[in-house]
Amino acid sequence: MSERDRNVPVRVTVWGENVHEQQEEEVRALYPQGMHAAIAQGVAARLGDRVSVRTATLQEPEHGLTQQLLDDTDVLTWWGHIAHDEVDDAVVDRVHEAVLGGMGLLALHSAHYSKVFQRLLGTSCSLRWRNEGERELVWTVDPAHPIAAGVAQPIVIDAHEMYGEHFDIPAPDELVFVSSFAGGEVFRGGCCFRRGAGRIFYFSPGDQDYPIYHHPDVQRVIANAVQWAAPGPHVPRAVPGSPMAPRGWFA
Amino acid sequence: MSERDRNVPVRVTVWGENVHEQQEEEVRALYPQGMHAAIAQGVAARLGDRVSVRTATLQEPEHGLTQQLLDDTDVLTWWGHIAHDEVDDAVVDRVHEAVLGGMGLLALHSAHYSKVFQRLLGTSCSLRWRNEGERELVWTVDPAHPIAAGVAQPIVIDAHEMYGEHFDIPAPDELVFVSSFAGGEVFRGGCCFRRGAGRIFYFSPGDQDYPIYHHPDVQRVIANAVQWAAPGPHVPRAVPGSPMAPRGWFA
Amino acid sequence: MSERDRNVPVRVTVWGENVHEQQEEEVRALYPQGMHAAIAQGVAARLGDRVSVRTATLQEPEHGLTQQLLDDTDVLTWWGHIAHDEVDDAVVDRVHEAVLGGMGLLALHSAHYSKVFQRLLGTSCSLRWRNEGERELVWTVDPAHPIAAGVAQPIVIDAHEMYGEHFDIPAPDELVFVSSFAGGEVFRGGCCFRRGAGRIFYFSPGDQDYPIYHHPDVQRVIANAVQWAAPGPHVPRAVPGSPMAPRGWFA
Amino acid sequence: MSERDRNVPVRVTVWGENVHEQQEEEVRALYPQGMHAAIAQGVAARLGDRVSVRTATLQEPEHGLTQQLLDDTDVLTWWGHIAHDEVDDAVVDRVHEAVLGGMGLLALHSAHYSKVFQRLLGTSCSLRWRNEGERELVWTVDPAHPIAAGVAQPIVIDAHEMYGEHFDIPAPDELVFVSSFAGGEVFRGGCCFRRGAGRIFYFSPGDQDYPIYHHPDVQRVIANAVQWAAPGPHVPRAVPGSPMAPRGWFA
């Protein structure tokens, strides 16, 4: 963001579905305060006073995503899995509109199937999967990209759920990471999209059964993506209409 | 489509909103049988036995777009303007799914604001406009593209509605045409998108107040786009799900 | 190619460096008539009378690539490895110009380091490698793409040289295949580029130490790519200059 | 550049061919100290202590572009027209390599035909032109792009040389501006390319016969592009080779 004043913190809202943590002891053991708390702590730890971070969850009124909160959010991260259908369509509309107006969105792991990600991309976002705890290697295919700054080549994740191609998304505007799995599958797991005035980053690591969000390189990627997705001050934060323009209006 | 058997005609369905023609004498004078009929005749005239063409309109049951018809359609062209909201959401879902499964879609002129185009692209699809009958020049910016084959550089349209930037779409996968208007505006009026297994072409010429669909170059573009958007025989015509894949499933 | 007359065969020239086969018995055992002969036979077997195929090699005068031959070639395939530097710059200029004018180019395996591929792409085209005969899986990431038609998902190559990221190329205009290797690396091994009026496809399988060009799926990919890369009849086969255009020249 | 420390100035080198100014009184009247001086002053005026700016010209030894200077340059701007052929190939090699290593490059106006721009893009970079002092309107087609921040929609340039399509470049990685001219032509005049680790921005305004580089919006675009093109601290400033990678090297 060429014009962003680095003295003004990026306002980050970490949204969590917060269901697995409540229902499954194994997940709670990994994330005692919830996955959203771990993600938020990772961002804050990496970026310090360059960000102000808060969280919101499905269980709150309006899922914690009021219009006021979205207006005050530069980047929203989204993790959901088992309860996509419980997200209220009015909230989906609101988040969709906020992204088109310029709010950044990080869609994490199973958020590929979230309503708002599908709405923004327009495709099924389907993929292959297998949850057997295999080694995942996350390879940078665009080393100069700011989201790859300071990230190990490859990121080694000892055990994770497999997500494999074909991943039914539009061709990404920028492809940053491609994963391989011990079983041989590959996955375009780090993809940038630009929709309206908003920047979207999809990042596949992050199944609830593994301590992925404690991994330093995963935290680094998410922190980088927060900075990449933050709108510049010239971004209007409003979805444009279709104005009638009289001839010579610009003179 | 590398594998398409040229002896099998492309099955084209030309969909028309068919409201202006019914309500406005001036439009009916230009298109006595409806705009859809003119578009269909243009395609048939240009492509002969390489296509089979039929039409469907808003007023028919299910807007003429039954599942059976979509299953039997390789390329659907869409013109709508004043009655976008009258298109049933169930039909929009059906068309959306057909495109993801591989059916080609040509979105014509004011179809930028159709429900299905917005659903596929995920953005507002807003633009500037002015209807004062100005000269539009349609410039090819990708002369080797099959949709530009045999098309004049530029296409000269003596009088048309102005559509101008900013056009709020995702970056097109291929940009073929850019228009200028007498008033000075520009517009990315010929854009290819790939979504799921389907190919989408947006083409901006075609306001109901002008005899655009009788213009030979416009007919040529639409005919070329029909051929470009037609799915190859390897395209599944089904939206993929997310299967669990056991380790080594491909061996 | 929307307008291509399927009754006119695509004229294919298969170019081979033809050095390993002459110097190494192991390679000659795999490709007794040379790698170029195997590639040519694969294309001819797959496409029959839809192509006319000939070969040319480094050792011929002008490496067999006279201006006349290029003028008569729709698609050129290129395999080179140990003798990139022996390719005459005048021939490189000629092939480069032919591609910009519309001739298709298939750059195979180690052709990533050929002079003409580097000239067309403008980057170093460097990569990681390891030649230990590991299993390569070639995954389709764009199943509707014509180059992927009829190809197994994934292509299983039992033993091959590893090519791994980062592959220093411009972002491909279309990404079709991504490979993984037993050692865990990934590689964007099936990439489409459009330069000038020409279509370029890079395909990574094909090291001289393995019988890759006898593999049915590899043959299928190359055959598909030949059809994809063939110019339509509207393509000028000439590199454009920069003409002065008097005001209103198009009227 | 997400990680760039804003307290470290971007080191900009403004390169000028500096021939028209020496030979033509009309150009000298517009740019008494040379076009490069005007461009440099515009960048410095807009960005203040966020940049350190110097100039170099064709007439200096090694055209002023020693290896040392390139190593100390984050972004190079390039203006040339009548003397492209006088640029030494060794310097072109050096600049090309610097860009692949991460140095930003702004190619201005007639630099579309500079050796280094052609080398980086791989195409002819040809276009139509007419120098009759027509009004040019520069339209933003990507308002959220940092290079468009704070720029008028459209930029109005009262009189300029016409550059028109077809512009024979690869599809830009990001298209930011499209111009129209009073005579009706359009031109993709603001294009981003990523090559190797380097970012390239082509911007078409800037013929020597007009006071374009004194235009506030043109200065703003160039200043924005300088910031956009500056490499992050993670960029290696070296062109990668092709290392052999033993199996498991990353463990």
Q: How far is D46 from chain C (nearest CA, A)?
A: 31
- Helix, strand, coil distribution of chain D in percent, nearest 5: 35, 30, 40
Integer Cα distance of C156 and C210 in angstroms? 13
pLDDT one-digit tens code per residue, C31-81: 999 999 999 999 999 999 999 999 999 999 999 999 999 999 999 999 999
DSSP code at position C231: P
The model's confidence at residue B238, banded by pLDDT at 50, 70 and 90, is very high
Q: Would you call A246 an interface residue with chain C, using a CB distance cutoff of 8 Å?
A: no
Q: Is A134 helix (H, G, I), strand (E, B) or coil?
A: strand
Q: How far is C114 from chain D (nearest CA, A)?
A: 14
Tokens 């970012």 found at: D199
Q: Flag if C126 and D239 touch (Cβ within 8 Å).
A: yes
In angstroms, how far is CA A172 from the centroid of its own chain? Answer: 14
Name chain C contacts of D166, Cβ cutoff 8 Å: 240
Q: What are phi and psi of C199, to 5 degrees?
A: -110, 135
pLDDT one-digit tens code per residue, D114-134: 999 999 999 999 999 999 999
Q: Flag if D122 and C245 touch (Cβ within 8 Å).
A: no
Q: Which two tokens mark C168?
A: 């220093």
Q: Flag if D171 and B175 touch (Cβ within 8 Å).
A: yes
Q: Are strands A104-108 and A75-79 parallel, antiparallel or unpaired?
A: parallel
Integer Cα distance of D11 and C22 in angstroms? 53
Left (φ > 0), alpha (ψ -120 to 50) or beta: where does A248 sit?
Answer: left
- What average pLDDT score do residues A209-237 get? 97
pLDDT one-digit tens code per residue, A118-128: 999 999 999 99
Q: Flag if B186 and D139 touch (Cβ within 8 Å).
A: yes
The answer to whether residue D91 scores a pLDDT higher than 60 is: yes
* Cβ-contact D35, D16 below 8 angstroms: yes
Assess whether the previous peptide bond of D154 is cis (omega < 30° from 0): yes
Q: Name residues 95-154 of chain C within 8 A of B (Cβ).
A: 102, 137, 142-144, 146-150, 152-154
Contacts of D89 (CB under 8 A, 6+ apart): D115
Q: Give me the amino acid identity at C3.
A: E
Q: Flag if A3 and D197 touch (Cβ within 8 Å).
A: no
Q: Would you call D50 an interface residue with chain C, using a CB distance cutoff of 8 Å?
A: no
Closest chain C CA to residue B173: C173
> Which CA distances in Å does D47 have to A166, B64, C24, C180, D53?
45, 59, 61, 46, 10
Q: Flag if B171 and A185 touch (Cβ within 8 Å).
A: no
> Which CA distances in Å does B58 have to A25, B44, B110, C138, C221?
54, 22, 15, 45, 43
Closest chain C CA to residue B101: C144
Helix H or strand E segment including C120: helix C115-121
Closest chain A CA to residue C166: A141
pLDDT for residue C5: 61
Integer Cα distance of D192 and D194 in angstroms? 7
Distance linking the first and last C-alpha atoms of chain B: 29
Question: Which of C194, C227, C250 minimises the CB distance to B2?
Answer: C227
Q: What is the DSSP string of A22-51?
A: HH-HHHHHH-TT-HHHHHHHHHHHHHGGGE
Average model confidence (pLDDT) for chain D? 96
pLDDT for residue C46: 98
Other CB atoms within a 10 A radius of the CB of residue A237 amount to 15
Other CB atoms within a 10 A radius of the CB of residue C56 amount to 21
The model's confidence at residue D192, banded by pLDDT at 50, 70 and 90, is very high
* Cβ-contact A148, A224 below 8 angstroms: yes
Question: Which of B171, B175, B180 minimises the CB distance to D184?
Answer: B180
pLDDT for residue C102: 98
> Which CA distances in Å does A210 have to A25, A31, A155?
13, 10, 15
Q: What are phi and psi of A204, to 5 degrees?
A: -80, -35
Other CB atoms within a 10 A radius of the CB of residue A248 amount to 8
Q: Flag if B124 and A195 touch (Cβ within 8 Å).
A: no
Q: What are phi and psi of A239, to 5 degrees?
A: -80, 130
Q: Is C176 helix (H, G, I), strand (E, B) or coil?
A: strand
Q: How far is C43 from chain D (nearest CA, A)?
A: 28
Closest chain C CA to residue A181: C184
pLDDT for residue B2: 42
- What average pLDDT score do residues B3-10 get? 73
Q: Give me the amino acid identity at A116.
A: V
Helix H or strand E segment including B106: strand B104-108
Question: Which of A135, A141, A165 minimises the CB distance to C188?
Answer: A141
Q: Flag if A2 and D137 touch (Cβ within 8 Å).
A: no
Q: How far is D30 from chain B (nearest CA, A)?
A: 27
Q: What percent of chain D has pLDDT over 90?
A: 96
User: Residues, chain D, total?
Assistant: 251
Integer Cα distance of D90 and D104 in angstroms? 19
Q: Which two tokens mark B110?
A: 């004011």
Q: Flag if B132 and A247 touch (Cβ within 8 Å).
A: yes
Helix H or strand E segment including A57: strand A51-57
Q: Flag if D166 and B135 touch (Cβ within 8 Å).
A: no
Q: Would you call A198 an interface residue with chain D, using a CB distance cutoff of 8 Å?
A: yes
Name chain A contacts of C178, Cβ cutoff 8 Å: 165, 178, 186, 188
Name chain B contacts of A119, Cβ cutoff 8 Å: 122
pLDDT for residue A7: 75
Cα R_g (chain C), whole angstroms: 18
Using CB atoms, list chains with 3+ pairs below 8 Å to chain D.
A, B, C
Q: Which two tokens mark C231?
A: 């110019």
Question: Which of D102, D146, D154 minimises the CB distance to A144?
Answer: D102
Name chain D contacts of A198, Cβ cutoff 8 Å: 144
Q: Flag if B174 and D179 touch (Cβ within 8 Å).
A: no
Integer Cα distance of D24 and B31 in angstroms? 59
Integer Cα distance of C142 and C174 in angstroms? 9
Q: Is B12 helix (H, G, I), strand (E, B) or coil?
A: strand
* Cβ-contact B77, B17 below 8 angstroms: no
Q: Which two tokens mark C98?
A: 């032919």
Name chain C contacts of D184, Cβ cutoff 8 Å: 248, 250
Q: How far is D95 from chain B (nearest CA, A)?
A: 29
Q: Which of B167, B247, B249, B250 is the best substitution to test chain A (most A C-beta atoms within 10 A)?
A: B247
Q: Flag if C167 and A140 touch (Cβ within 8 Å).
A: no
Q: What are phi and psi of D234, to 5 degrees?
A: -85, -5
Strand order in the sheet with A75-79: A51-57, A10-16, A75-79, A104-108, A198-203, A186-195, A174-181, A128-140, A155-164
Helix H or strand E segment including C89: helix C89-101
The answer to whether residue B107 scores a pLDDT higher than 70 is: yes
Name chain A contacts of B184, Cβ cutoff 8 Å: 248, 250
Q: Is C245 helix (H, G, I), strand (E, B) or coil?
A: coil
Question: Which of D139, D164, D182 minimises the CB distance to B165?
Answer: D139
Contacts of C99 (CB under 8 A, 6+ apart): C76, C105, C116, C120, C195, C196, C198, C200
**How wide is the angle at C-alpha D112 spanned by C-alphas D108 and D116, nearest 5°?**
95
* Cβ-contact D99, C214 below 8 angstroms: no
Using CB atoms, list chains with 3+ pairs below 8 Å to chain A.
B, C, D
The answer to whether residue B131 scores a pLDDT higher than 70 is: yes
| ipTM of the prediction | 0.96
pLDDT one-digit tens code per residue, C196-238: 999 999 999 999 999 999 999 999 999 999 999 999 999 999 9
Q: Flag if C245 and D194 touch (Cβ within 8 Å).
A: no
Q: Give me the amino acid identity at D119.
A: R
Q: Name residues 166-195 of chain B within 8 A of D (Cβ).
A: 166-167, 171, 174-175, 178-182, 184-186, 188
Closest chain C CA to residue B196: C144
pLDDT one-digit tens code per residue, B52-106: 999 999 999 999 999 999 999 999 999 999 999 999 999 999 999 999 999 999 9
Q: What percent of chain B has pLDDT over 90?
A: 96
pLDDT for residue B1: 39
Q: Give me the amino acid identity at C91.
A: V
Q: Flag if C164 and D245 touch (Cβ within 8 Å).
A: yes
Count of CB contacts below 8 A, A vs D?
77
Q: Which of A2, A105, A237 is the best substitution to test chain D (most D C-beta atoms within 10 A)?
A: A2
Integer Cα distance of D221 and A35 in angstroms? 42
Question: Which of A120, A124, A247 minimises the CB distance to B122?
Answer: A120
pLDDT for residue D2: 42
* Cβ-contact B235, C142 below 8 angstroms: no
Range in A27-36, A236-245, B146-155 with the lowest mean pLDDT:
A236-245
pLDDT for residue C1: 39
CA dihedral angle for residue D150, residue D153, residue D157, residue D162, rounded to 10 degrees? 120
Integer Cα distance of D87 and A164 in angstroms? 49
Is the Cα torsion angle A118, A124, A125, A130 positive or negative in sign? positive
pLDDT for residue C2: 42
**How wide is the angle at C-alpha D249 spanned by C-alphas D245 and D251, nearest 5°?**
160
The model's confidence at residue D3, banded by pLDDT at 50, 70 and 90, is very low
* Nearest by Cα to C155 from A168, B244, A135, B251: B251
Using CB atoms, list chains with 3+ pairs below 8 Å to chain C.
A, B, D
User: How many CA within 13 A on the CB side of residue C38?
Assistant: 24
> Which CA distances in Å does A208 have to A18, A46, A138, A205, B243?
10, 21, 18, 10, 19
- What average pLDDT score do residues A103-117 get? 98
